[in-house]
A and B are shown apart, each in its own frame.
Chain A
Amino acid sequence: DQQVKQNSPSLSVQEGRISILNCDYTNSMFDYFLWYKKYPAEGPTFLISISSIKDKNEDGRFTVFLNKSAKHLSLHIVPSQPGDSAVYFCAASGVYGQNFVFGPGTRLSVLP
């Protein structure tokens, strides 16, 4: 039962262009969403979060959009840089955030 889905296992983008990573969820009780980036042989690193009371959160080159009615969120990276090449995980939790459910990840490759 995949409660958090990332339907694109991989994405390639040219340096300087926008990267858009998508995430869909099925559990309407999810209230809080995060994006993590993971390099090989390292733990996931927190990037940006959004709570359900917002539809957008921005931090530098990273913007997360949330569409609650569609149960969809996306991460925009602009401009994309080669160092952004990593696996990106979407994660979701309920109101009290005890258990984060992770999506399967999308491998982003930013080509120079």
Chain B
Amino acid sequence: EPEVTQTPSHQVTQMGQEVILRCVPISNHLYFYWYRQILGQKVEFLVSFYNNEISEKSEIFDDQFSVERPDGSNFTLKIRSTKLEDSAMYFCASSGRTGPSGANVLTFGAGSRLTVL
């Protein structure tokens, strides 16, 4: 069964350092997402991406965050200067389509745990 893969599974970094989290979405999917879950809290939407541009982003997704699809397979989340409060599990997701038929289902990766010291 096709799956979304994320690397690294766990990254530890010093505050102020740049971090890049990588994702390989399902190959024929067109919509890509990043969500995060701070320990003990709910899963929060960060950003959605379609047709090589951000389609929607949340208040969390400030100037420190950026996303990129550098080639036909990878989808990356960059945090320019990490803060302690960025420590969380980051989930990448992809979807095949969207529309009023309600057939949009997000397939999530296993997550990348980011620990900022």
Contacts and interface: CB of A to CB of B under 8 A. Distances in A.
Which label, helix, strand, loop or mixed, suits the secondary structure of the A interface? loop
Contact of B99 (A36, A97, A100, A105): A97
Contacts of A28: none
Contacts of A32: 102, 104
B100 A95 contact: yes
B111 interface: yes
Contacts of A51: 100-102
Contacts of A25: none
Interface stretch (B11-19, B37-45, B73-81): B37-45
A104 B42 contact: yes
Interface in A64-98: 89, 93, 95-98
Contacts of A44: 43, 91, 108
Nearest to B101: A51
A72 B91 CA distance: 27
Given A96-B99, A96-B100, A102 B110 contact: no
Contacts of B31: 98
A34 B102 CA distance: 10
B43 A31 contact: no
B92 to A, nearest CB: 8
Given A36-B108, A42-B111, A96-B98, 20 more contacts: A34-B106, A41-B110, A42-B110, A43-B93, A43-B111, A46-B105, A46-B106, A50-B102, A51-B102, A89-B42, A93-B104, A96-B100, A98-B48, A99-B45, A99-B48, A99-B56, A99-B58, A100-B33, A100-B106, A104-B42
8 contacts: A32-B102, A44-B108, A46-B106, A50-B102, A95-B99, A100-B106, A102-B42, A102-B44
The 4 closest A-B pairs by CB, nearest first: A51-B102, A43-B108, A97-B104, A104-B42
